[in-house]
């Protein structure tokens, strides 16, 4: 006798809001649909997921070694927006469970004609299988009642994989929206340094690496992913190549490995840079990860646009925010953002200030680098300000202008610049050049020579400019050396100094 549990064909049951979600899909959402299926594997305690993509055959196979499903669990799987009787926050292996809306498998419907699934529990010879004709839901201008379409399937038996558990999803037959993703219209203008310039497979891989709960390519950051899955690794392969999460900056400007809290939100974060523009531009700014899954595009929370004005080094910054608690109930059904909450607004404000501070540090460091390079490399003395403004003074000015608690970054900035010296070679002798101030009524009003040091009077009128400063300084040094070598006497030296001031009076500042 056939029981209700094993009755075939079955129907999908659905919360009506899912129709709206499906109708809003674009070809750019395609990787998100695959992400949702892989996320189900993660929640099923899989340690490995293999994705095989064939553009020629127009199909994608996603197979995991997770716990699999029996028929009761499968019935829940196809009950859209369905929840188990007891909602758990962690899996059997203590992973943070990501899925909560029960819409994961349905997300693939707009992109494929058929959704086929096989799944098996460990120590069982029963393999549950089913086939969903996705295309039928979009045959008409108006979406059909989702419960009117049958899912054909049943149970088959195999002894060869008795001790294994797995779920295999086969998505076959590209719809037009899926074809558009892999064969992007060539007449659309692409942006420089954008993933839109990647070939379709590379772009697909990039998006999966951005959002899936993967290990990091830079192992320094695996601490962050291991928090969410403390006992099991999670590896994803695309056409036999392991996918790894990228970090687009090697220098860590700021991070919090300890849990921080704003209201009910608990989080960790890191902000990095390579001290140059982050490319592709989609990798700039901060990626929000809720329970280790990417949420939406990277964001600066409006900084550089409507919030706080432009930041010239903001595009040098990249990083991640890892949310542990407090926002899971606020995530939108599409998983691309969060609903309004005062705590979330405070979190955004916290990171606006962080990004502003970090971009300020990079801008200041860029200014200091230019300052030091000009002083070290310039063979001529064009501007006395490059010698008379101490680095420590400049950094103090920077600290005041940034006006935020980023002492660690400022300390790193201070340690990056050691005192430097300007040198000058005259008559086969090298002198250290320094700047000082003294009264113009002095016997030597322009320059002095003491041992191996040439001291330049910052107050001397002909040294105030930048166009001919080097010539005036060297001419006065030659006069002083002529006096020191007894080529000219003291009176002649004084007369020449005064005549120079008169002749070049129009060069005084």
Ranges of each domain in the chain: 1-204+230-241, 247-420, 422-507
The rounded distance, in Å, linking the Cα atoms of 486 and 508 is 29
What mean pLDDT value characterizes the chain?
83
Q: Determine the pLDDT at residue 189.
A: 64
- Cβ pair 23, 138 in contact under 8 A: no
Nearest to 250 by CA among 224, 216, 281, 227: 216
Phi, then psi, of 38 in degrees rounded to 5: -65, -35
Neighbours of 49 (CB within 10 A): 25
Q: Which one is predicted more confidently, 28 or 266?
A: 266
Nearest to 119 by CA among 206, 189, 40: 40
At the topology level of CATH, where does 247-420 sit? Answer: Ribosomal Protein S5; domain 2 (3.30.230)
User: Before 14, cis peptide (omega within 30)?
Assistant: no
Radius of gyration from C-alpha coordinates of the chain: 34
Per residue in 278-297, is it b (16+ CB within 10 Å) or e — as a string? Answer: bebbbbbbbbbbbbbbbbbe
Q: Which one is predicted more confidently, 69 or 190?
A: 69
Neighbours of 59 (CB within 10 A): 18
The rounded distance, in Å, linking the Cα atoms of 262 and 452 is 59
Q: Reduced to 3 states, what is the DSSP secondary structure of residue 107?
A: helix
**Crossing angle between the packed helical segments 30-43 and 200-211, to the nearest 10 degrees:** 40
The rounded distance, in Å, linking the Cα atoms of 436 and 390 is 12
Q: Determine the pLDDT at residue 312.
A: 79
pTM: 0.75
What tens digit of pLDDT does each residue of 293-327 get?
A: 999 999 999 897 665 556 779 999 999 999 999 98
Q: Determine the pLDDT at residue 269.
A: 96
Q: Which string of DSSP letters, residue by residue, matches 435-488? A: EE---TTSSSSSEEEETTEEEEETT-GGGS-SSSHHHHHHHHHHHHHHHHTTSS
The rounded distance, in Å, linking the Cα atoms of 219 and 197 is 28
Nearest to 158 by CA among 181, 179, 128: 128
What tens digit of pLDDT does each residue of 29-55 get?
A: 899 999 989 999 999 999 999 999 999
- Cβ pair 318, 248 in contact under 8 A: yes
* Beta-sheet pairing, 429-436 with 447-450: unpaired
Helices (H), 93-143: none
Q: Determine the pLDDT at residue 159.
A: 83
- Cβ pair 303, 286 in contact under 8 A: no
What tens digit of pLDDT does each residue of 106-162 get?
A: 788 889 999 999 999 999 999 999 998 888 776 655 545 566 667 889 999 888 888
The rounded distance, in Å, linking the Cα atoms of 178 and 115 is 14
Is pLDDT at 287 greater than 60 in this prediction?
yes
DSSP state, residue 214: P
The most confident of 215-224, 407-416, 422-431, 460-469, by mean pLDDT: 215-224
Q: Determine the pLDDT at residue 16.
A: 45
- CATH number of the domain located at residue range(s) 1-204+230-241 in this protein: 3.30.565
Q: Determine the pLDDT at residue 185.
A: 67
Confidence of residue 384 (pLDDT cuts 50, 70, 90): confident
Is pLDDT at 23 greater than 70 in this prediction?
no
Confidence of residue 330 (pLDDT cuts 50, 70, 90): confident
User: Sheet containing 447-450: which strands, arranged edge to edge?
Assistant: 422-426, 429-436, 453-457, 447-450
- Cβ pair 146, 12 in contact under 8 A: yes
Q: Which one is predicted more confidently, 213 or 358?
A: 213
Token pair 């690794």 is found at 233
* Beta-sheet pairing, 422-426 with 59-64: unpaired
440: tokens are 């113009």
């Amino acid at each position: 006798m056939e029981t209700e549990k094993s009755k075939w064909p079955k129907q999908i049951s659905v919360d009506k809001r899912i129709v709206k979600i499906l109708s809003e899909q674009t070809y750019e959402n395609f990787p998100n649909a695959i992400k949702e299926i892989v996320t189900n594997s993660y929640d099923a305690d899989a340690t490995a997921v293999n994705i095989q993509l064939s553009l020629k055959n127009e199909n994608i196979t996603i197979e995991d070694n997770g716990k699999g499903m029996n028929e009761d669990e499968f019935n829940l799987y196809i009950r859209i927006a369905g929840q188990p009787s007891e909602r758990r926050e962690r899996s059997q292996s203590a992973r943070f469970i990501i899925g909560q809306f029960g819409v994961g498998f349905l997300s693939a419907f707009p992109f494929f004609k058929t959704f086929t699934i096989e799944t098996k529990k460990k120590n069982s010879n029963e393999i549950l299988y089913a086939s969903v004709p996705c295309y039928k839901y979009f045959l008409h201008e108006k979406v059909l009642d989702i419960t009117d379409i049958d899912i054909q399937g049943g149970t088959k038996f195999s002894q060869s994989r008795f001790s294994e558990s797995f779920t295999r999803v086969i998505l076959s037959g590209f719809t037009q929206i899926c074809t558009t993703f892999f064969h992007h219209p060539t007449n659309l203008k692409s942006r420089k340094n954008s993933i839109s310039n990647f070939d379709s497979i590379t772009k697909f891989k990039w998006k999966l690496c951005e959002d899936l709960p993967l290990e990091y390519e830079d192992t320094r950051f695996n601490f962050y992913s291991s928090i969410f899955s403390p006992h099991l690794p999670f590896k994803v392969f695309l056409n036999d190549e392991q996918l790894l999460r990228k970090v687009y900056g090697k220098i860590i400007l700021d991070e919090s490995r300890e849990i921080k809290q704003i209201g009910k939100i608990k989080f960790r974060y890191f902000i990095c840079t390579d001290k140059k523009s982050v490319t592709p531009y989609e990798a700039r700014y901060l990626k929000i990860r809720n329970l280790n899954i990417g949420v939406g595009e990277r964001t600066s929370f409006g900084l550089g646009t409507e919030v706080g004005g432009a930041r010239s080094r903001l595009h040098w910054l990249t990083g991640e925010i890892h949310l542990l608690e407090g926002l899971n109930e606020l995530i939108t059904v599409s998983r691309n953002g969060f609903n309004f909450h005062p705590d979330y607004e405070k979190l955004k404000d916290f990171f606006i200030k962080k990004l502003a501070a970090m971009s300020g540090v990079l801008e200041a460091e860029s200014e200091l680098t230019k300052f030091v390079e000009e002083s070290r490399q310039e063979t001529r003395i064009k501007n006395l300000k490059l010698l008379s403004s101490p680095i420590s003074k400049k950094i103090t000015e920077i600290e005041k202008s940034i006006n935020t608690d980023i002492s660690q970054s400022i300390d790193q900035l201070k340690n990056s610049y050691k005192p430097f010296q300007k040198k000058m070679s005259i008559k086969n002798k090298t002198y250290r050049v320094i700047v000082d101030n003294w009264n113009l009524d002095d016997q030597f009003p322009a320059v002095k020579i003491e041992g191996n040091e040439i001291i330049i009077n910052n107050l001397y009128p002909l040294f105030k400019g930048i166009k001919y400063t080097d010539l005036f300084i060297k001419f006065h040094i030659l006069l002083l050396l002529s006096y020191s070598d007894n080529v000219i006497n003291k009176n002649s030296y004084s007369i020449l100094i005064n005549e120079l001031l008169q002749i070049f009076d129009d060069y005084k500042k």
